[in-house]
Amino acid sequence: MHALLSRLRGPGLVGHLIALVAGALSTLSFAPYNLWPLGMLSVALLYQGLKEVTPRQAALRGGAWGLGLFASGVSWIYISIHLHGNASPPLAAFLTGGLELGLACFFALMAWLWVRFLRPAGAWLGSLSFALLWFAQEMFRSWFLTGFPWLYHGYAHSHTWLAGWAPVGGVWLLGVLSVFMACLLSEWRLARKPLQLVGAALLFGFIWGGGLLLSYIDWTQPTGKRLSVNLVQANIAQSNKWDPAYITRTLELYRDLTYAQPPTDLVVWPETAVPILQSQGQYFVDGIAANLAEEGRTLITGIPVDTQDADGLRIYNGIMVGGSEPRSQYLKQKLVPFGEYVPLEDLLRGLIDFFDLPMSSFSRGPADQPPLQAAGYALAPLICYEAVYPDFATRLAAQSELLITISNDSWFGSSIGPLQHLQMAQMRAIEAQRWMIRATNNGVTALIDPRGSIRERIPQFQQEVLIGEVQPMTGLTPYLRWRSWPLVVLAALVLVPCTLRRRQPR
């Protein structure tokens, strides 16, 4: 044990390799594997691996851990670049690896900061400061260069007792609690101090038991009648989605699948289900919506929205309530880099097919948009990637009785990416304690209840229609009311004094 600990904490290559493997272990804590103890073990290995190294060595170790996480956890990006971006395997691997290395830098920076400015001697303060700096890293990652808020540590606890804390502080609070406990558990020196060991046991009991008790609290209450919903999963191949020769077939398919079902209050089509501009396809949507309205049904669909202003033509990734007057629609704000817009467009356009994907010139929607209005209720719309931004999702959720997300995960094939995406949608439902309606092109289409449980679902890669019910909810969870500000304040109160009191020499 002593020899293993020395290798883990030592500055050599072995310690970096352990960190690399530990980062990969963390991926197994998320969907579809859900082996959450491995996530805590992974964090503990990184924490102990930073206890005796210099800041420069810490950056390498943190970067190695981050590379292990992202190389194993987001390798599905290769599929979209190679298969749908027509990049050769070497080029797709290079671009995917470059992204993973870039993301690993967030953990390199976190490790460097902790060792350089924070690393205290005590087990308690060391564990707490590490957990709060982890939160700061995740929050920074959700913002920097538009953000990549994927694989947050708290998602590993979507189905554990810790999930009871999600309505209180969101996925970030779950992450702080889990990282703190993982670090403290790795401090075996506590076993030599009975009082501290008892204190740690009591604290762990409070965290886990508190989460269980909180899961029984109804922060929100039902309002109005239950709504019947009809979610259409057309399972259209990504290669056909934007093919002009296939557009008519696509529209007919959605029409026929919809008309074949019994009447429901809401009919929901997925992201860009109508694969033509709104100016060209509005007649089709309004025609379907008018026919459905005769049966008391309301259509909600994804559609590219085009507008003309002083700067010329603008195209948005939109979701709209068909046939409503005044028109209720929402324009996506959080765009996917390269998939929906191209950074440094003047330099990159035309270099390779991946930088010229169909519909990769979307504009960003305004920040002050209201919720959708449908069937007499307010629905918080999240288009695809937007469902992975915790604080972003809270603004509209706090104004709404239901959550709705439409998506097209066809880009990522049969990889783990779509299942990770589904897990994040489940967390949004838990945080807001509201029902989530999730409609996708090829899966996973689902109805998620306020506890994050999937009540109904359509498996991936099946052409099918889901029919079920959702209950509108009113009231605010603490997280919807306060968002992440309490955690931000706590992080500042702990990290700033630690930084001022102790600075690790270079």
Q: Where are the domains of the chain?
A: 2-218+483-501, 221-332+367-476
| CATH architecture type of domain 221-332+367-476 | 4-Layer Sandwich (3.60)
pLDDT for 443-477, tens place per residue?
899 999 999 999 999 999 999 999 999 999 999 99
Which of 114, 148, 109 minimizes the C-alpha distance to 131? 114
Average pLDDT (330-355) is 67
Distance CA 57, CA 462 (A): 49
Over residues 148-203, the pLDDT tens digits come to: 999 999 999 999 999 999 999 999 999 999 999 999 999 877 767 888 889 999 99
- 269-289 pLDDT, tens digit per residue, is 999 999 999 999 999 999 999
Contact present, 267 and 300 (Cβ < 8 Å): yes
| Mean pLDDT to the nearest integer, 49-53 | 93
**At CB < 8 A and 24+ separation, what contacts does 237-240 make?**
237/410, 238/83, 238/84, 238/408, 238/410, 238/411, 239/84
* Dist CA 5 CA 189 (whole Å): 13
| Residue 372: alpha-carbon gap to chain centroid | 21
Q: Identify the CA nearest to 331 among candidates 358, 357, 306, 312.
A: 306
User: Is 384 labeled as catalytic in the residue annotation?
Assistant: yes
Please indicate whether residue 241 is annotated as part of the active site: no
Cβ-contact 102, 69 below 8 angstroms: no
6: pLDDT strictly greater than 50: yes
Strand-pair category, 464-470 with 454-458: unpaired
pLDDT digit string, tens, across residues 40-49? 999 999 999 9
Listed in sequence order, the residues at least 6 apart from 350 whose beta carbon sits closer than 8 Å to its beta carbon are 356
What average pLDDT does the segment 290-318 reach? Answer: 92
Which H or E element spans position 441? none
Label residue 464 exposed, middle or buried (CB < 10 Å: 0-12, 13-18, 19+): middle
Q: Is the pTM of this model over 0.85?
A: yes
The pLDDT of residue 1: 47
User: Phi and psi at residue 256, in whole multiples of 5°?
Assistant: -70, -40
Q: List pLDDT tens digits, range 387-445.
A: 999 999 999 999 999 999 999 988 888 899 999 999 999 999 999 999 999 999 998 99
Q: 230 or 343: whose pLDDT is higher?
A: 230
* Collapsed DSSP state (helix, strand, coil) of residue 477: coil
Q: How far apart are CA 458 and CA 463, in angstroms?
A: 9
Q: Concatenated DSSP letters for 240-266?
A: HHT-GGGHHHHHHHHHHHHHTSPP-SE
Q: Which of 44-48, 91-95, 129-133, 475-479 comes out lowest in average pLDDT?
A: 91-95
> Which residue carries 């976190």 as its tokens?
110
Q: 3-state SS string over 339-408? A: CCECCCHHHHCCCCHHHHCCCCCCCCCCCCCCCEEECCEEEEEEEHHHHHCHHHHHHHHCCCCEEEEEEC
Q: Partners of 306 in the beta sheet?
A: 315
Of 187, 271, 386, 431, the catalytic one is 271
**Chain-centroid distance, C-alpha 76:** 15
CB 131, CB 111: distance < 8 Å: no
Burial class (CB in 10 A: 0-12, 13-18, 19+), 456: middle
User: Which among 140, 114, 117 has a CA at the least distance from the CA of 59?
Assistant: 114
Is 332 catalytic? The answer is yes
Q: Which of 434, 438, 428 is nearest to 389 (CA)?
A: 428
Write out the DSSP string of 26-47.
HHTTSTTT--HHHHHHHHHHHH
**Could you say which of 187, 241, 384, 401 is catalytic?**
384
Q: What is the pLDDT of residues 245-263, one digit of tens each?
A: 999 999 999 999 999 999 9
Whether the CB-CB separation of 417 and 443 falls below 8 Å is answered with no
